[in-house]
Structure formats: C-alpha cells, structure tokens
C-alpha cells in the first residue's frame, strides 16, 4: 500500500507538470534567449547532481526503494521534457530561420539531441554563431549527463534486474543456539521485553537475516554494541543488540547481502549472559526507524532457526 500510494502521488505530480507545459518555464525565464539557454543548462546540471546523489546513496526503504526511484524518475523526465522544449525555443530565437525544424520539435525527454551544423557566409557571421554553438554544446553535455543517469537509475530500479541483492532470509545466528518466547515479559524500570533473546556462545557469528542496508550501528547504554538493518525486499528493520563487536565496515549506509557477517554474540550493554537480542519492526514506514512498530519476532525466528 505504501509503494502504490507514493506512485500515485508521483503520477499526480507528473500530470501537474505536464499540464504546466514548456511555456510556463519559458515565461518565468529571462527574456534574453541566450540567458534562457544558460538557465536550462544550469537546471540540468543541478538535476544531474541530484540524480548522482540518488544513485550513490544507500537503498534504504526495502522493496519500496525501487518504486520510490521509478516514481521520482517519472517526475524528473517531465522536467527534462520541459527544459528541452525551452532550450529549443531559446535556440530558435537566437538563430531565427537558420535553425533546423527538428530542433524545434522535442518529442520527449529521450529524443535525439540535435547537433548544429550551420553554414556561415563570412567571418562576421562565424563570430556571431560561435557563442551560440558554445552554449548549445554546454547544454548538450548537461542533457547527455542527465539522460545517462536516468537510464542507469531506471535499469537499477527495474523489476528482475540482474545483480539485485539476493532474496530470502536466514537465521541470524550461525551456530548452536537456544531461545524461548519472552516477548512482553516484564523487565526492570517498568519496561517490557520488546524482542527475543537468542542464546549462544560468546563469539558466535551473527549474520544479516536479510539483504539490505545498515541504518545505524554503534553503542547504546542498554543494548551495547548493536546494528539496525533494513531489509531490501521486506522493508522490515532488524535490531541486533548486545554484540561483542561489529564486523569491519558495518557502518550506516553499508549494503549487505543475506548471510553476510555483521558481528559476534556478546553481552555488552545491560546483558547478563552472551546472547543476541533481536528486535523486529515489520514494514518500517519510512527512512527513520519507528520503534513503536516493534513486533514479536518469535514466529519469524522459529521459521528461520527452528523451535529453539
């Protein structure tokens, strides 16, 4: 439901932008056509920066990441179409009848980028055309950069894309363990137990229960050394607490595959014996971990690790 809702919102934004059309962008730009072309080029460069940040950022959001990216790119493509139309209009104003007809007809954000091959009759005309050609070349470079990033992100977020993180879930403890149902039991200071404790020997490896992104790692007075992992496919968040230490490189933003080493069983924080406290937030609703959404992980752990 969250993914489809966001997709609908993005579609509505795209329709609104389409309704505005290229004329509204041109109307808000400077009257000078050369300045309008420079403004479009600058807007494309800023868009490229945003797309590069999106491509380089962690895939936080579980299975919704791909939906979010596809929805965002739909809006970006509408903006690119508007900028292309505004650039063609500015170029037409600069060159008048010398501009080729195909330059003025932008069929969509991914239509071929026209290159200008203009014939000049004398040195004075060459001097007049040189800055126009330089501005158009800068525009083409910026547009090519944006279109390349759009294509790469569309490919990365496409369903069934080769190279996606492995699906499935595994038991987070690799070794002998035992556990029992303790969710909701009373704890000191008026607390209740918001997870399950998987008891194992100190130093037993702890692995990623699901492919995903490390949202947070570090020390907490109660949980000791711990890790928050957000699942790529489920959107669930898993909290590993009381670890002896975290594995090298397990830092916020790190993308891990199911079964990758996260750390080792310990008793740091307020633990009395070596064990993994596992908290579970199913379908976490956003980029921040909502601890109000903690749920009983016992049925999940029985399915992954056995009856304990």
pLDDT digits (tens, 9 = 90+) for 214-246: 999 999 988 999 999 998 888 889 999 999 999
Q: Which residue has the higher pLDDT, 154 or 202?
A: 202
Which residue has tokens 């919704």?
A: 64
What is the predicted pLDDT for the residue at 262? 97
- According to the per-residue pLDDT averaged within each range, which of 4-13, 94-103, 237-246 is highest? 237-246
Model pLDDT, residue 287:
60
Architecture of domain 186-305: Distorted Sandwich (2.70)
Q: What's the CA gap between 98 and 297, in Å, rounded? A: 70
pLDDT over 70 at 269, yes or no: yes
Amino acid 29: pLDDT: 45
The residues, ordered by sequence, that sit 6+ positions from 8 with a Cβ below 8 Å of its Cβ are: none
DSSP state of 113: P
The pLDDT mean for the chain works out to 79
Instruction: For CATH 2.70.70.10, list the domain ranges present in the chain.
Output: 186-305
pLDDT of res. 88:
81
What is the residue whose two structure tokens read 């607490």? 241
User: How many other CB atoms sit within 10 Å of the CB of residue 218?
Assistant: 12
User: Can you give the pLDDT at residue 115?
Assistant: 52
Least confident of 66-70, 133-137, 270-274, 297-301: 66-70
Is residue 62's pLDDT more than 90? no
User: Residue 132 — pLDDT band, cuts 50, 70, 90?
Assistant: confident
For residues 134 and 123, give the distance between their C-alpha atoms in angstroms, rounded to a whole number.
17
Q: Which residues contact 44 (CB under 8 A, 6 or more apart)?
A: 80, 83, 139, 142, 143, 145, 146
If you average pLDDT over residues 10-31, what whole number do you get? Answer: 46
Tens digit of pLDDT for each residue in 168-177?
899 999 999 9
For position 133, what pLDDT does the model report? 79
Q: What confidence tens digit (pLDDT) does each residue in 242-262 have?
A: 999 999 999 998 999 999 999
**Beta bridge partners of residue 206, listed in sequence order:** 173, 263
User: Rounded to 5 degrees, what angle do the CA atoms 194, 198, 202 make?
Assistant: 125
Closest by CA to 215, choosing from 289, 277, 278, 291, is 289
Average pLDDT over residues 273-296: 82
Angstrom distance (rounded) from CA 240 to CA 207: 10
> 239: which residues sit within 8 A by CB, 6+ positions away?
195, 223, 226, 227, 228, 277, 278, 279, 280, 281, 289
- Of the pLDDT bands very low, low, confident and very high (cuts 50, 70, 90), residue 50 is very high
Whole-angstrom distance, CA of residue 125 vs CA of residue 118: 10
**Cβ–Cβ < 8 Å for 297, 279:** yes
Predicted local distance difference test score (pLDDT) of residue 3: 44
């Amino acid at each position: 439901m969250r993914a489809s809702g966001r997709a609908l919102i993005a579609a509505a934004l795209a329709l609104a932008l389409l309704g505005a059309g290229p004329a509204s962008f041109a109307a808000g730009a400077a009257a000078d056509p050369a300045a309008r072309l420079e403004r479009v080029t600058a807007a494309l460069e800023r868009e490229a920066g945003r797309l590069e940040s999106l491509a380089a950022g962690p895939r936080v959001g579980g299975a919704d990441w791909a939906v979010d990216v596809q929805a965002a790119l739909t809006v970006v493509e509408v903006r690119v179409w508007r900028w292309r139309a505004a650039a063609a209009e500015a170029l037409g104003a600069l060159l008048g009848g010398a501009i080729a007809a195909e330059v003025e007809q932008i069929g969509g954000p991914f239509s071929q980028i026209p290159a200008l091959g203009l014939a000049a009759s004398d040195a004075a005309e060459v001097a007049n055309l040189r800055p126009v050609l330089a501005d158009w070349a800068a525009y083409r470079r910026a547009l090519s950069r944006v279109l390349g990033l759009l294509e790469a992100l569309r490919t990365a977020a496409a369903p069934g894309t080769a190279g996606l993180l492995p699906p499935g879930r595994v038991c987070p403890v690799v070794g002998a363990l035992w556990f029992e149902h303790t969710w909701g039991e009373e704890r000191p200071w008026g607390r209740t137990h918001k997870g399950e404790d998987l008891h194992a020997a100190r130093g037993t490896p702890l692995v990623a229960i699901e492919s995903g992104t490390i949202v947070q790692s570090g020390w907490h007075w109660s949980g000791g050394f711990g890790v928050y992992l957000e699942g790529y496919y489920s959107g669930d968040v898993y909290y590993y607490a009381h670890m002896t230490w975290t594995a090298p490189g397990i830092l916020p933003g790190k993308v891990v595959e199911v079964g990758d080493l996260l750390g080792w069983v310990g008793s740091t924080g307020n633990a009395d014996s070596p064990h993994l406290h596992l908290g579970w937030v199913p379908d976490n609703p956003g980029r921040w971990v909502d601890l109000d959404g903690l749920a009983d992980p016992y049925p999940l752990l029985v399915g992954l690790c056995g009856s304990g």
